[in-house]
Structure 1
Amino acid sequence: MFCVVAARSAEAHVKWFCAYDVAGQPRGLENVLCLDFELLLGVAVFWLFAGCLVEPTSLGDATIRVMDRITAGVRSHTELMMRAVAGFFFISIWAVGGILLTPELKTTSPLVGALQLAIAAGMLSRRTLPLSAVGMAILFGIGVRDYGVFHLADYPIFLGVAAYFALIGLNRDMFGIRPIDVMRYAAAVTLMWASIEKWAYPEWSFPLLIEHAGMTLGFDNEFYMRAAGMVEFVLAFALIWTPLIRRCAAAVLTGMFISACFEFGRIDTIGHSAIIAVLLAIVADDKVLPRDRRAPWLAPVALCAALSLTLFVYYFGHAVIFKTSVL
């Protein structure tokens, strides 16, 4: 249910539309880890475990076969899709002007615009993809310099996409990890990190919820943001799990991002075009490796471990960098 309830606010990047303060004091962990949070986590664990039990059954096999048929066209043209969307993305932010990588990352440097056009041009040939990847890494580095590592921790997806293009262009993998899997892991980390923000700074989204009150379906804003964060975290975690689980999670996330584009317009469409393409590539990926097979009982354990680790890194990293309180 909450995949529908939380769809739009969960995937509309609040920094693009509302005032924010990355260095501000986040909600203390004693307020985040409340009864609502525990109940939502319990529901998430139940459904994740149920999905893992279904995957090795005949129903799971049938679902995989249906997804394979539906996504055959995307699968055979994944590289072309990624190159086309990346070209669209960089030409679009160049045309808007003053944007480094995402709408809240502003720049006045004319060299950034030239680099964005060069990155887009590099998408025309596989041979020049590594050069475009270097250009993307340079833009990310400029963002770290200008906005700090904590702010850019929102966007490792750009490094994942850059690595994908570099590996495709060089016809290599990364220590045995396929290019698409590098991109998938980066998307998972990006979305898990972003979900913590919804618990740490729910007030950033309140103006959006007031302006688009229908999104909450009558739920209290505080509870709604907890639910939105939990939906996003669990689906993001699922991207690193077994084939059926990750493909279904990517399909749901794709629907959520596209729904947000209709609600929030051009900026959201441009800003999220790359991650939508990544998610479509994950939905279409039919490769199954031996390491993809995991016992169902491991999923709840791994989910709770990932959640604990992400909360720890977010809060303690913020406390170290900005001298804020954890509790």
Structure 2
Amino acid sequence: MRNARPVRCRSLLALGLLGAAAPQQALSHVKWFSSYDTHAHPVAWEALLGTQWLILSATALATVFAACWIANRTGASQVRPFAGSPTLQRPAWAYPLIFSALAITILLCWKHEVILAPELKCELGEISALQFLVIAISLIPRLSVLFPFGVGLLFLSGVYEFGLFHMLDYVFVLGSAAFLWMTRAGTHPSDFQRALTILYRTTGFSLCWVGVEKVIYPHWAEEILQARPDLALGLPNDFFIQGAALFEFSLGFFFLAQLWTRACALVLTGLMIFTTSLFGFREVLGHLLLHAILLTFMICGPARVLAHSCSGPIRPALKLACMYAVLLAGSTLIYHRLAWLLMPGEA
């Protein structure tokens, strides 16, 4: 009990540092507010692998190491990463929260003739009819069990219209559908832990993928900053864009590792509320489901968390930092390669 106050103080300090370091535009999806072109040239490797990017990446790596070290030193976690935890009981509010947010999102998308996000504009009557059918299913209790499958069909419609590469930004929508299917009435309460883990992993992946996007296509974010130069906080645009990208990627990694999940979810929620005041309805349409997911994370906490190591806090912190470095380098390489392969005339 005597350690409770130091742990709480350090947790609040970590939360404050996250909030202070957060770029204001970090969680605004650049595709929603720029004239993006996925067939445009991605940034060249020579421009990306500059001194500034390497320094920022090293800073992010050191932050991940420090976050894991603090978690182990303060006893903020109890079990090893990715190694299971005591069974989480299914809260009664979790299913209706995600279900309602997803259904309202689809309703708003149907009204504004987009598929699942503001930039996925599609006026095909077949997709509009599918959206209407999915909304109708959500309103009929006996058929609502089919709702996750309808969401999956809408995601596949987005893949058909815009390609899988584009739709990887929205993997968390599939994660939400899987969460609903696994936590529906009649399933075992222990399924909630697996469902929550899927929600963490898909949300974390989406944040990491969109973070990498900002550095591969910096001109999309540049367009927004030219229209709203105050968002850069007086920093050079390229520095701000790379910092925002790493900030978003790092938060996604924390969700993947299920480390400091409540603090990260709270910071992201605050940022998205702020960006909604700047960008209006498009933010509401794009982030409504994500708000529900983050609220679930804040209330439930992690499904699996880090623990003290017999060898001390250094070893697990190094392991997690190495995982971060591999994921950052690998996802950047894969995204860059795919971006070039999908350009017209490239192979």
TM tier, shorter chain? 0.7 to 0.9
Higher normalized helix content (fraction of residues): 1
Pick one of 50, 53, 59 that aligns with 1:43. Answer: 59
Count residues in correspondence. 312
Report if the CA contact (8 A) 2:276-2:284 is conserved: yes
- Counterpart of 1:280? 295
Distance 1:249 1:221 in 2: 25
> What is aligned with 2:318?
297
Over 3 Å counting, the alpha-carbon distance change for 1:312 and 1:131 in structure 2 is: same
User: SS at the partner of 1:10?
Assistant: coil
Unpaired segments ≥5 residues, structure 2? 1-16, 78-89, 310-315
2:262 corresponds to which of 247, 252, 272: 247
Counterpart residue identity of residue 254, structure 1:
T
Q: Is residue 2:177 matched to residue 1:162?
A: yes
1:258 equivalenced with 2:279 (yes/no): no
Q: Deviations over 1:50-70 (max 9, x none)?
A: 221221344737xxxxxxxxx
1:13 maps to which residue?
A: 29
* C-alpha contact (below 8 Å) 2:48/2:215 kept by paired residues: yes
Whether contact under 8 Å (1:199, 1:226) holds in the other structure is: yes
Structure 1: any 5+ residue segments left out of the alignment? 62-73
Q: Is the 8 A contact 1:81 1:277 kept in 2?
A: yes
Q: Indicate how the Cα distance of structure 1 residues 105 and 126 shifts in structure 2: closer, same or farther if over 3 A, else same.
A: same
Match for residue 210 of structure 1? Answer: 226
Greater CA drift, 79-88 or 123-132: 123-132
- Offset from partner CA, 1:225-268 (integer Å, 9 cap, x none): 011101011111110114x4233222222222222111110111
SS of corresponding position for 2:256: coil
Q: TM-score, normalised by structure 2?
A: 0.80
Asked whether the 8 Å contact 1:156–1:186 carries over to 2, the reply is yes
Query: After superposition, what is the alpha-carbon deviation per residue over 1:28-63, rounded to whole angstroms, capped at 9, x for unaligned?
Result: 1221121111211222122222221221344737xx
Letter in 1 for 2:232: T
Q: Do the aligned residues in 2 keep the contact of 1:191 with 1:236 (CA within 8 Å)?
A: yes
2:240 to 215, 219, 224: 224
Matched, 1:313 2:329: no
Once the two structures are superposed, residues 77-100 of structure 1 have per-residue CA deviations (whole angstroms, 9 ceiling, x without a partner) of 22221122112211212222x211
245-254 or 145-154, larger mean C-alpha shift = 245-254
Q: Larger deviation: 285-294 or 140-149?
A: 285-294
2:207 to 191, 197, 200: 191
TM-score by length of 1: 0.85
Measure the CA separation in 1 of the matches of 2:290 and 2:68: 25
Q: How big is the shift at 1:2? A: 7.7
Q: Distance in 1 between matches of 2:173 and 2:109?
A: 14
CA distance, structure 2, for counterparts of residue 173 and residue 308 of structure 1: 38
Structure 1 pair 125–42 and aligned structure 2 pair: CA distance change class (3 A):
farther
Amino acid of the residue matched to residue 125 of structure 2? P
Q: Which residue of 2 aligns with 1:115?
A: 130
1:125 Cα shift? 6.8
* TM-aligned CA deviation for residue 198 of structure 1: 0.8
Q: Describe the SS at the equivalent of 1:104.
A: coil
Are the structure 2 counterparts of residues 130 and 8 from structure 1 closer, same or farther at C-alpha, using a change threshold of 3 Å? farther
Is the contact between residue 129 and residue 168 of structure 1 (CA under 8 Å) also seen in structure 2? no
2: distance between equivalents of 1:125 and 1:283?
30
RMSD: 2.9
